[in-house]
Structure 1
Amino acid sequence: MKYYSTTEKNVLILISLLKAHGIRYIIASPGNTNTALIGSIQKDPHFKIFSAVDERSAAYMACGLAAETGEPVVISCTGATASRNYVPGMTEAYYRKLPVLAITSTQQIGRIGHHVAQVIDRSVISNDVANLSVTLPVVKDEEDFWDCEVKVNTAILELSRNGGGPVHINLPTTYSLPFTEKEELACRVFKRFSLVDDLPKLDEDKRISIFIGSHKNWSEAETLALEGFCNKFNAVVFCDHTSGYKGKNRLLFSLAAAQELHNKAELKPDITLHIGEVTGDYPILSMAGKEVWRISPDGEVRDTFRKLKYVFEMSESSFFEHYSEPKNSVSHHQYFQKCSDFLKKVQDKIPEVPFSNVWLASKLASKIPAGSAVHFGILNSLRTWNFYDLPENVTAYSNVGGFGIDGGVSSLLGASLGNENKLYYGVIGDLAFFYDLNAIGNRHAGNNLRILLVNNGKGTEFRLYNHHASHFGNDGDEFVAAAGHYGNKSETLIKNYAENLGFEYLSASNKEEFEAVYQCFLEPEVKDRPMLFEVFTDSENESEALQIMHRLEVSAEGKAKQALKNLLGQKGIDTVNKIIKR
């Protein structure tokens, strides 16, 4: 039997995922905005559709059907006040934890509030109407497609999560015609598991990367659980300084992953296990496997790499312990060795770089006193110091949660209050430092504070060779990079301020000056004063140093790809890739 479907991609994504998740019951109420959905499925043999003119009755019908069958039931209505009549039945579903999926179709969201007929605001719903409410985008590009795909998967998974319950999807329409015989879309399907489920098989022959974002301090038991997993599987653990993991098969891989002129395909895993929270290690995002398994007690959908397949709502230790049993096989660690060898090859090619944050990291990272903690400013400081490892017993942190520049010094200060006998280092740029300047004037600031202030007189991030704002060149300084504020690299402003607050002040404007004073900054004992070491660099040297670090290893394929990108631009590359995939 022929049946016709809309060309509206948000609807096609929704239909594809309803099928993929095995949802078949639909109770449809009449209307215009939901024609794209109902008209596309009314002859589809997968769905069993019932009609109900009264939306209040439809919602209660869904409660009865869901309770009887144990299956999710979709209710579909149009705009105007139709969805308001779902509230009593959805409230019933909420308190009985019934999997009712209310899909309320609507005109485009931008029309809300402009006296457009039959347009109402559904952006806020009552607390006890649905466990989750999402609004799908009108899909115009790949970003919208991904957003829609994730939201629909998340909504459907919520129907059965934590005992189940109702969910709301707000579905905009563009009234597109005609309805065609066009093939359905293929969408990724997410699945969620808990420890009571049968977990998917993990092949011991697969190359597996465990990527750890920012992470709380690891307990010994948690470390042993991950080490036990690595003993069995062909795995490598990719970390940055905020990951906190110091166990076996660990690689600080940022420098290797950042090689923009090298084809790293041979280093990529088959599967990536994603744990931890937000990361500031941007290069490692390119090293994801063909599929990603997200492991976290919160069980939330986090599609960081846009390759998500499974979500495991459990502790990381529980996951690793489950897959480590039985312990009847031992990995030869080929994948770890391959990645380790490549990293060492890249490291061996590091030349002398200009006076910059990169150069500072090369001189200081390995010499941070044992038992200290280091707090990095986001982006440039964290990025460049991720190229160099810290001593094993040094811990590291960065405000990558909100990823703002506003509280780095205060976070460092707060941490230092926890142990007055431990050294706390901060590495921070000038804009972030001045943003949080008041922190070093706090009367609780202790002698265990040591701050490395990298002062280049601007947001040097926006002047780096690979930043899209670099297009403006020097013109970018005035407003984008905010150059010239806070004394414009004054040699006395911070010196006088810090010394008046009781800090020992050090400074350097070149490599020779740095070499003459830096040893004092690394003394392993808490001294009688906190320290502030101000190092003056410039954005040109910062950019050159970063470019050198990104181009240590060159392959023919990587070089050709970069040349093509320079010729066509990223949009041109994306277009070519689409044509090749057809």
Structure 2
Amino acid sequence: MYSTKENVNILTALLVKEGITKAVVCPGSRNSPIVHNLCACPDIECYPVTDERSAGFVALGMSLADNEPVVVCVTSGSALLNVAPAAAEAFYQKRPLVIISADRPPQWIDQQDGQTLQQHRALEPNVRKSVTLPEPHNDEERWYCNRLVNEALNALHLNGGGPVHINVPITEPLFDYDVMQLPDERRITVYPAVTNDTSVYEIAADFFCSKKPMVVLGQLIPEIVGNLLEPIEEIKKVAVVIQEKLADDDIGPSQPLDEALMMIEGDDSYHPDHLIYIGGTIVSKRLRQFLRKSECKMSIVVNEGGDCCDTFMHTTDIIQGAAEEVISILANETVGVEQKAFVTQWDKLFDKAKAIRNTIKPRFSQLLAVKTFHHKMREEAIDGQLFYANSSAVRLGNIFSDQYIYVNRGVNGIEGSLSTAVGYAIAHQDEEDVYCVIGDLSFFYDQNALWNESLSPNLSILLLNNGGGGIFHQLSGLERSPYRDSAIGAEHTTSAEGVCQAHDIVYLSAHNKEELYENLDKFFNSEEGPVLLEVFTNVEDDAQALKDYYQAFK
């Protein structure tokens, strides 16, 4: 039996027609008709999460797992505002989240009634579409409600896609459930525009005629790069391809980007004269600064929305098109093109940087912990998906990872990294292991991700705990502030052991090299899960280890 609320039933019916199969639901009375419908619907599996901020990121992780839209449903009031960080991350990652909020009737907004605030468009501009549904009383209002839901669901996929917000005012009574079946609702299908192949072929031909062509791949979902391994390899024969592990699904050592850029500082011969930038953000600040100094005759940005994203400050053309289509066209145009000296020059540079990297033996530090973690994965052929938190963690992952890295680089926030990994692990709990490498501030900020009745045993967490925001010890000049450690870097003495006990998680710890090696064995071979290994390091040692590492490349 379904709710008696018509707007809720119209919405539920269209979610089913959209093919949505997963919903993260949060507690509340005003959203109870929606939650009831989602749980009663045989086509949708529901996952309760109490903390709305975590719930948004859990839904994001589920969306990453299956590359499909996922619902997150919250009640009225400030509950919706807690989803804002996940909405922003999904917006800049172009991930299809359906954010559904229950609302109070409009006449009671701003009237000092309980749990009321201005919810309409509360998540803009970080959603692709915002709609507030009517409570229908006649056929025209039912048509209007149907149309608004269709508009929102279509916006999930157009212009590269992204999150949408559907706000649902619901009047009392709330708890009547005597509708036998959902209505047969009209689904309006919108077909996205296709890439202008002719224009792309012309641009590609000019691009490969240049002396120093370079392609930069920003963050891409693994399904895209996995399908494009061969075309990318063809492009690499005739152009320099720059890619971090956020856009590389080929099992093998990562490109030593920052290391190479340190080695060639001041050498203009490595700058491209033609540049194509495809995909989302890149982690390396040094790479962005390097490319901003490049004087490019042609500098092309590719994205599905046609957005004017002038990251390197010299864009000449924008291609509105899908990454897969443009990369395939570029690969087709490599036929008959001779390899450039520019490509050989960069290949030799990368080889030299990799050789230096292999000789470095860091002190006990977060650098050593991540290096050993990946060495262990490679040595024992351990398979699984990798999630990295932002700040220092993902930078270390980009040095040592042999495989694709998931990371919330849409807005680069520390919140939600653990919840995103939890969501992915829940969605794939019977299929593959999920490893989350995370710093202490990110972990403790998002520890409610573990307060989750759906938490699955395939999750393993490597927690790098140096007692605060270690990256602040790497920022030159900040040491002049007496408040760097206490206020800016959030210095602390917290451990995750109690958190693990509260949530029945296997807890391991390491305070030196010997414990790190010993407990990494237990970490990877634990017969129970989830499991967490907390590596305690000194923030000054971490900063010095990283300084020593990069000093080797100067």
The 2-side partners of 1:388 and 1:196 are apart by 40
| Structure 1 counterpart of 2:487 | 479
| Structure 1 counterpart of 2:228 | 222
Task: Indicate the SS of the match to 1:413.
Answer: helix
| Structure 2 counterpart of 1:305 | 312
Q: Structure 1 residues 385, 264: closer, same or farther in 2, change over 3 A?
A: farther
Q: Is the 8 A contact 1:237 1:251 kept in 2?
A: no
| Structure 2 counterpart of 1:320 | 327
Match runs of 1:497-508 below 5 Å: 497-508=499-510
Q: Structure 1 residues 375, 467: closer, same or farther in 2, change over 3 A?
A: farther
Task: Give the aligned residue type for 1:381.
Answer: A
Q: Structure 1 residues 263, 549: closer, same or farther in 2, change over 3 A?
A: farther
Task: Give the aligned residue type for 1:480.
Answer: I
Task: Give the aligned residue type for 1:241.
Answer: K
| Structure 1 counterpart of 2:424 | 415
Q: Is the 8 A contact 1:459 1:483 kept in 2?
A: yes
- Which of 220, 228, 245 does residue 241 from structure 1 map onto? 245
Q: Is the 8 A contact 2:260 2:553 kept in 1?
A: no
Q: Structure 1 residues 294, 253: closer, same or farther in 2, change over 3 A?
A: farther
* Higher mean displacement: 276-285 or 328-337: 328-337
Q: Is the 8 A contact 1:227 1:247 kept in 2?
A: no
- Which of 465, 469, 478 does residue 459 from structure 1 map onto? 469
Q: Is the 8 A contact 1:374 1:425 kept in 2?
A: yes
Match runs of 1:487-526 below 5 Å: 488-489=493-494, 493-523=495-525
Q: Is the 8 A contact 2:437 2:464 kept in 1?
A: yes
What TM-score, normalized by structure 2, do the two folds share? 0.58
Task: Give the aligned residue type for 1:301.
Answer: C
Task: Indicate the SS of the match to 1:340.
Answer: helix
Match runs of 1:494-573 below 5 Å: 494-523=496-525, 527-554=527-554
Higher relative contact order (CA 8 A, sep 6+): 2
| Structure 1 counterpart of 2:371 | 362
| Structure 2 counterpart of 1:207 | 212
The 2-side partners of 1:536 and 1:258 are apart by 31
C-alpha RMSD of matched pairs (Å): 2.8
Q: Is the 8 A contact 2:519 2:533 kept in 1?
A: no
Q: Is the 8 A contact 1:229 1:321 kept in 2?
A: no
The 1-side partners of 2:251 and 2:239 are apart by 13
Q: Structure 1 residues 516, 302: closer, same or farther in 2, change over 3 A?
A: same
Task: Give the aligned residue type for 2:244.
Answer: D
Q: Is the 8 A contact 1:427 1:451 kept in 2?
A: yes
Q: Structure 1 residues 497, 379: closer, same or farther in 2, change over 3 A?
A: closer
Q: Is the 8 A contact 1:252 1:389 kept in 2?
A: no
The 1-side partners of 2:263 and 2:234 are apart by 33
Task: Give the aligned residue type for 1:479.
Answer: A
Q: Is the 8 A contact 1:253 1:284 kept in 2?
A: no
Paired residue total: 348
Match runs of 1:54-203 below 5 Å: 194-195=196-197, 197=199, 199-200=202-203, 201-203=206-208
Q: Is the 8 A contact 1:254 1:386 kept in 2?
A: no
Q: Structure 1 residues 197, 387: closer, same or farther in 2, change over 3 A?
A: closer
The 2-side partners of 1:343 and 1:514 are apart by 30
Unaligned runs of 5+ residues in structure 2 are: 1-158, 160-194
Match runs of 1:271-310 below 5 Å: 271-288=274-291, 289-291=294-296, 292-310=299-317
What TM-score, normalized by structure 1, do the two folds share? 0.55
Cα distance, 1:298 vs. partner?
A: 1.4
Q: Is the 8 A contact 1:280 1:379 kept in 2?
A: no
- Which of 354, 357, 361 does residue 352 from structure 1 map onto? 361
Residues 246-276 of structure 1: CA deviation (Å, up to 9, x unaligned)? 299x962334245278445333322221111
| Structure 2 counterpart of 1:372 | 384
Q: Structure 1 residues 395, 261: closer, same or farther in 2, change over 3 A?
A: closer
The 2-side partners of 1:218 and 1:210 are apart by 19
Task: Indicate the SS of the match to 2:316.
Answer: strand
Q: Is the 8 A contact 1:372 1:395 kept in 2?
A: no
Task: Give the aligned residue type for 2:269.
Answer: E
Residues 362-392 of structure 1: CA deviation (Å, up to 9, x unaligned)? 21224335431111111200112211231xx
Cα distance, 1:446 vs. partner?
A: 1.0
Cα distance, 1:323 vs. partner?
A: 4.0
| Structure 2 counterpart of 1:341 | 348
Q: Structure 1 residues 340, 389: closer, same or farther in 2, change over 3 A?
A: farther
Q: Is the 8 A contact 2:254 2:400 kept in 1?
A: no
* Higher mean displacement: 450-459 or 493-502: 493-502
Cα distance, 1:482 vs. partner?
A: 1.3
The 2-side partners of 1:327 and 1:255 are apart by 28
Cα distance, 1:471 vs. partner?
A: 3.0
Q: Is the 8 A contact 1:275 1:294 kept in 2?
A: yes
Q: Structure 1 residues 276, 326: closer, same or farther in 2, change over 3 A?
A: closer
* Higher mean displacement: 440-449 or 222-231: 222-231
| Structure 1 counterpart of 2:441 | 431
The 2-side partners of 1:506 and 1:335 are apart by 48
Task: Indicate the SS of the match to 1:349.
Answer: helix
Unaligned runs of 5+ residues in structure 1 are: 1-161, 163-192, 555-582
